[in-house]
């Protein structure tokens, strides 16, 4: 079964009671049992819910995996993976990482005795140098957020060996363009709020693995901590995922055209998009991914305030947090998605005040290009 067929059929058989073609929203918190301990596999919806079960089967299939655990947000999924660790454990992290992930690691989990080393994970030697006797997990983003750096997943997994779990946040690439488990990763995490849901109308997350033991531990924390999606959010994400392949093809076509346009524009200093031959890891992107995605970032040769003014004057790119919806979005990472990272640290990583990030939607690309061109002409 191929990708688009999996997205539409896995976990989504006709309802056995009514024959409904679409999986119902099982809007219930509890289930009537025939006797104590005798039920149909469902007892309480924090633990298990039929709509969520269908979503988990669908998303596991899209990553060619055995197991998926759905959560109420991408950060809840990230926290569940980090719950695999214990006080004293050490984690190596991509330095160009989502601001919410940095906040969780630095301001929450460090208080519980975990330690983190941030490195340029696009350099396998930097990752290798950071590994130590207490390292239990390597946390990667690729492409990274917001600088679109790439990480050689297979090389990092080879360095980690069998004793260190490699987890990959695959939100930017999606399972349509990248399959980290096939490259050796043990866990894949998505914010399903983004491309998988795809319509900016549901918040969710998922942790996916082929490792039975890791799955059981993640599932235990899913139930114990309780950060699960409600059935309606699970249903919305499942509906969105059905069209993931169609949407990602259009996202990529539009993003590539916009990246090429921006790279040619005299006021633009730099464009970060792995589909451009000028990207320092373009060859890795061609080898590791089947497409380059719909995200890009760029800096302009203008002061910070003019960059922010530019972001606010666009017609079709909404100034907003998040990404991955059918509509185009623009954000100022230093003030928005990565504002929780101290300024000095942001700038050391390359997240300058002049950096803007685009989530390119699926509108007509000519309208998007005209919008950008008009706004640039005003600067």
Say what the pLDDT of residue 11 is: 97
Q: Residue 19 and residue 23: Cα distance in Å, rounded?
A: 10
Per CATH, which fold does 245-377 belong to? 3.90.1150
Give SS3 for 189: strand
The verdict on whether 169 is a catalytic residue reads yes
Domains 3-241 and 245-377 share a fold: no
C-alpha–C-alpha distance, residues 146 and 143, integer Å? 8
Q: Where are the alpha helices (DSSP H) in 178-243?
A: 212-225, 231-241
Q: How much is the pTM?
A: 0.96
- Average pLDDT of the residues in 228-248: 98
Residue 211's H or E segment, with its range, is none
Read off the pLDDT of each residue in 244-249 and give the average, rounded to a whole number: 98
How would DSSP label each residue in 263-330?
A: HH-TTEEEEE-TTSTTSTTHHHHHHH-SS--SEEEEEESS-HHHHHHHHHH-SSSEE-S---SSS-EE
Mean pLDDT, the chain, as a whole number?
Answer: 96
Q: Identify whether 253 is a catalytic site residue.
A: no
Closest alpha carbon to 118 in 353, 341, 357: 341
**Of 95, 96, 152, 169, which is the active-site residue?**
169
CB 187 within 8 A of CB 169: no
| Residue scoring higher pLDDT (165 or 338) | 165
pLDDT given for residue 143 in this prediction:
98
Residue among 266, 353, 359 nearest 307 (CA): 353
pLDDT value, residue 354: 87
| The pLDDT of residue 38 | 84
Longest dimension (CA), the chain: 73
Catalytic residue, candidates 6, 26, 96, 98 = 98
Catalytic residue among 194, 219, 242, 349: 194
Domain boundaries, the chain: 3-241, 245-377
CA–CA separation, 285 vs 163, rounded Å? 27
Give me the mean pLDDT over the 123-148 stretch: 98
Asked if pLDDT for residue 68 goes beyond 80, the answer is: yes
194 included as an active-site residue: yes
CA torsion through residues 23, 72, 295, 363, sign = positive
Catalytic residue, from 46, 154, 239, 301: name it.
Answer: 46
Give the pLDDT mean for 335-351: 80
The CATH classification number of 3-241 equals 3.40.640.10
Q: What is the pLDDT of residue 304?
A: 84
pLDDT tens readout for residues 166-177: 999 999 999 999
pLDDT recorded at residue 87: 98
Q: Would you tell me how many other CB atoms lie within 10 Å of the CB of residue 98?
A: 25
Q: Is 242 a catalytic residue?
A: no
CB 109 within 8 A of CB 86: no
Q: Would you say residue 60 has pLDDT above 80? A: yes
- The DSSP output letter for 86 is -
């Amino acid at each position: 079964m191929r990708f688009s067929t999996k997205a539409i059929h896995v976990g989504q058989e006709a309802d056995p009671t009514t024959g409904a073609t679409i999986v119902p929203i099982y809007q219930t918190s509890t289930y009537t049992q025939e006797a104590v301990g005798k039920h149909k596999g469902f007892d309480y919806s924090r633990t298990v819910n039929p709509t969520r079960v269908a979503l988990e089967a669908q998303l596991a299939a899209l990553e060619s995996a055995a197991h998926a655990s759905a959560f109420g947000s991408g950060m809840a999924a990230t926290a569940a993976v980090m719950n695999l660790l214990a006080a004293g454990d050490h984690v190596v992290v991509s330095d160009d990482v989502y601001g919410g992930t940095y906040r969780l690691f630095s301001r929450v989990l460090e208080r519980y005795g975990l330690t983190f080393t941030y490195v340029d994970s696009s350099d396998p030697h930097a990752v290798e140098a950071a590994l130590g006797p207490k390292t239990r997990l390597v946390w990667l983003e690729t492409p990274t957020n917001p600088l679109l750096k790439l990480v050689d997943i297979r090389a990092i997994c080879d360095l980690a060996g069998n004793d260190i779990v490699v987890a990959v946040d695959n939100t930017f690439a999606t399972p349509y363009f990248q399959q980290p488990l096939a490259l050796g990763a043990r866990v894949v995490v998505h914010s399903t709020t983004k491309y998988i849901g795809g319509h900016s109308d549901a918040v969710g997350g998922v942790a996916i693995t082929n490792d039975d033991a890791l799955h059981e531990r993640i599932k235990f924390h899913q139930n114990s901590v309780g950060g699960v999606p409600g059935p309606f959010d699970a249903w919305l994400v499942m509906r969105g995922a059905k069209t993931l392949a169609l949407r990602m093809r259009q996202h990529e076509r539009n993003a590539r055209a916009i990246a090429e346009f921006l790279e040619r524009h005299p006021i633009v200093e730099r464009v970060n998009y792995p589909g451009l031959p000028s990207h320092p890891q373009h060859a890795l992107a061609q080898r590791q991914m089947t497409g380059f995605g719909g995200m890009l970032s760029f800096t302009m040769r203008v002061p910070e305030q003019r960059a922010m003014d530019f972001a606010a004057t666009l017609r079709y790119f909404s100034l907003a947090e998040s990404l991955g919806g059918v509509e185009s979005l623009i954000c100022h990472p230093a003030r928005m998605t990565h504002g929780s990272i101290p300024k000095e640290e942001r700038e050391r990583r390359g997240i300058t005040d002049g950096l803007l990030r685009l989530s390119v939607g699926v509108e007509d690309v000519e309208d998007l290009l005209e919008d950008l061109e008009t706004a640039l002409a005003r600067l």
